[in-house]
């Protein structure tokens, strides 16, 4: 696949994933502890550089969101061996943004996807609703939105 096609696919995925991530993460310009204690800032950005009390501007948060979604798409590119629709890539970009590339690449969801069971992979999203051993209502709603996007045909 040439770079223009890959870039178009990634741009479409980011365009589809961004509103999902923004809605479910919410913008917080001051770092906070997420439900399982991970320091987080902006729209769900995490990492060793995030320190509680740290602040970012809205513009800096937008830049972090795009960078994080590009990172999620790199994991998708590295691990997915089957073609994806724009909606599927958008759904899996939101999911990968949330759980991380490593978990995505080791998941049973990916095994189903790479085996050609796209419907099964989309359905598998609904199982990823636990954080810290607890079922979280926000994750239930997020996974429902990701699954609906994944299953959308146009």
- Residue 16 CB: number of other CB atoms within 10 A? 20
For residue 57, give the nearest of 24, 27, 25, 23 by alpha carbon: 27
Angstrom distance (rounded) from CA 55 to CA 91: 29
Catalytic residue of the set 25, 68, 124, 146: 25
Angstrom distance (rounded) from CA 28 to CA 37: 15
59 is catalytic: no
124 is catalytic: no
Alpha helices (runs of H) in 28-136, residue ranges in sequence order: 58-79, 86-99, 101-105, 108-114, 118-124
Residues catalogued as catalytic: 25, 34
């Amino acid at each position: 696949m040439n770079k223009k096609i890959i870039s178009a696919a990634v741009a479409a995925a980011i365009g589809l994933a961004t509103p999902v991530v923004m809605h479910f993460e919410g913008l917080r310009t001051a770092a906070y502890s997420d439900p399982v204690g991970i320091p987080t800032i902006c729209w769900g950005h995490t990492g060793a550089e995030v320190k509680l009390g740290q602040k970012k501007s809205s513009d800096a948060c937008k830049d972090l969101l795009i960078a994080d979604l590009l990172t999620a798409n790199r994991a998708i590119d590295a691990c997915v061996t089957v073609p994806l629709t724009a909606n599927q890539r958008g759904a899996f970009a939101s999911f990968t943004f949330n759980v991380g590339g490593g978990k995505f690449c080791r998941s049973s969801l990916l095994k189903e996807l790479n085996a050609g069971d796209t419907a099964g992979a989309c359905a598998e999203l609904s199982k990823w609703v636990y954080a810290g051993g607890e079922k979280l209502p926000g994750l239930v709603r997020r996974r429902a939105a990701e699954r609906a996007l994944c299953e959308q045909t146009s």
